[in-house]
Homo-oligomer: A and B are copies of this chain.
Amino acid sequence: LAVRLVCSGFRVLVGSRNPKRKAGLFPAAAEVTGRAEAAKRADVIFVAVFREHYSTLCDLADVLVGKILVDVSNNTEINHHKESNAEYLASLFPACTVVKGFNVVSAWTLQSGARDGNKQVLICSNSQEAKRTVAEIAQVMGFTPVDMGCMASAREIENIPLRLLPAWKIPIFLALGLFLCFFTYNLIRQVVHPYIREQKNKLYKIPIEVVNTTLPCVSYVMLSLVYLPGVLAACSQLYYGTKYRRFPDWLDQWLQHRKQMGLLSFFCAALHAVYSLCLPLRRSHRYLLIETAVKQAVEKKMTIWVEEEVWRMEIYISVGIIALGLLSLLAITSLPSIANSLNWREFSFIQ
């Protein structure tokens, strides 16, 4: 933080309990002094201290009166404490203006500047003035300040860096489970069964053909799981005769994961399309084709055209392409920037 502030042209004072020991760690332009000294001279104070040590600042309470304290702390667990760190800090220093911010930016991004990935700095505070001051600091540092409203948002902002794709966990494990089931079934059907019955070695089918027949099964089941909870929710509303009753928790959870399940369904469908398109690239396809041709030639059979087979394949492929095209449209509308440009009528029309 100090490095970035210095690089952005701010005058930085580092207040430490051991100014001498810390001096070497900071850029030359940042002056390292004692805590009280720094608190007295600075206008905006970044409190880079663990929550447990906030109380050690209490002896500075007099010099801190009227200053802006920026709480940059993070927790190790989601909703670890009853009140957020920033609210706790505000309760310790009622005479200061506390702003939550900069905790969502990684140390690496702080040190090397905002490059790729997320450039947003989420800020909240009960004071508009203090929020604006910190937002302008973030702006000059090259980040995009985002106003998250009043102090009540601090808990949410502190939880953000601890999230690891929470909405994706259940859908991904579900998709993996479905994949394993269908893969086993297809393996038995396409490889094990012909081997046992006719002693034919079809092991070469495992990497592509078995995977390729498994993917659309997963995709279909996932897609139906996207639309099923809506139907169940409607039924539950009809049954209880009211729209104002909360759904049971499992249904609520399910409704919340629909978008992720839909995207996984699309991912499987897209992979299935690529796998299918790769089928004629394979050596095995080539060999089987040539062997059929040779067999036909030797037997002097001039025609092998089966109208029914031709039609079946033409219709399969053509329906598959149309389905993938429609699913792509759905997937594109789930991009945040597209979703934000659609109103709910357009969104449900597309769905």
Residue A79 lies at the interface, judged by CB distance under 8 Å to chain B? no
Bound: A208/B271 CA distance, A: 21
A299 smallest CB distance to B (angstroms): 9
Tell me what chain A mostly uses at the interface: helix, strand, loop, or mixed: helix
Contact among B26, B302, B311, B345 with A204 in the assembled complex (CB-CB below 8 Å): B311
On chain B, the residues within 8 Å of A27 by CB distance are 244
**Which of A44-52, A81-89, A128-136, A176-184 lines the interface with chain B?**
A128-136
Please give the distance in Å from A186's CB to the nearest CB on chain B: 15
Shortest distance in angstroms between A75's beta carbon and chain B's nearest beta carbon? Answer: 13
Interface size on A, residues (CB 8 A): 110
Q: A292-B290, A342-B118 are in contact. Are A277 and B281 (CB under 8 A)?
A: yes
A208 touches B318 (CB 8 A): yes
With A162-B345, A317-B208 as given contacts, are A310 and B293 in contact (CB-CB < 8 Å)? no
The answer to whether A243 and B111 have CB atoms under 8 Å apart is: yes
Q: Does A346 lie within 8 Å of B165, measured CB to CB? A: yes
Given A106-B344, A278-B277: A148 touches B152 (CB 8 Å cut-off) = no
Q: Which of A282, A290, A312 has the most CB of B within 10 A?
A: A290
A55 → chain B closest CB, angstroms: 28
Contacts of A340 in B (CB 8 A): 118-120, 336-337
* Residue A221 interfacial (CB < 8 Å): no
A18 at the interface (CB under 8 A from B): no
B282 touches A304 (CB 8 A): no
Nearest chain B residue, comparing its CB with the CB of A153: B139
Nearest-Cβ distance from residue A331 to partner chain B, whole angstroms:
10
A109 at the B interface (CB under 8 A): yes
Distance to closest chain B CB from A261 (angstroms): 11
Inter-chain contact B278/A279, CB cutoff 8 Å: no
A106-132 vs B: 1/0 string, CB under 8 Å?
Answer: 101101100111111000000010001
Q: Which residues of B contact A173 (CB under 8 A)?
A: none
Contact B349 A116 (CB under 8 A): no
Contact yes or no, B337 A282, CB < 8 A? no
In the complex, the answer to whether A278 meets B321 with C-beta atoms within 8 Å is yes
Residues of B within 8 A of A72 (CB): none
A76 an interface residue at 8 Å Cβ cutoff? no
Q: Closest B-chain residue to A257, C-beta based?
A: B115
**How close is A288's CB to chain B, nearest CB, in angstroms?**
8
Mark A254-296 against chain B: 1 for CB-CB distance below 8 A, else 0: 0110110000000100010111111111111011011111111
29 residue pairs of the A-B complex, CB under 8 angstroms, read: A3-B244, A111-B243, A115-B258, A116-B259, A118-B339, A118-B340, A136-B152, A164-B345, A204-B314, A207-B317, A208-B317, A274-B277, A277-B277, A280-B280, A281-B317, A282-B310, A283-B309, A283-B313, A286-B289, A287-B306, A289-B290, A290-B293, A290-B296, A291-B303, A297-B298, A335-B335, A336-B337, A336-B338, A336-B340
Q: Which 5 A-B pairs have the closest CB atoms?
A: A139-B149, A297-B297, A337-B337, A106-B344, A293-B293
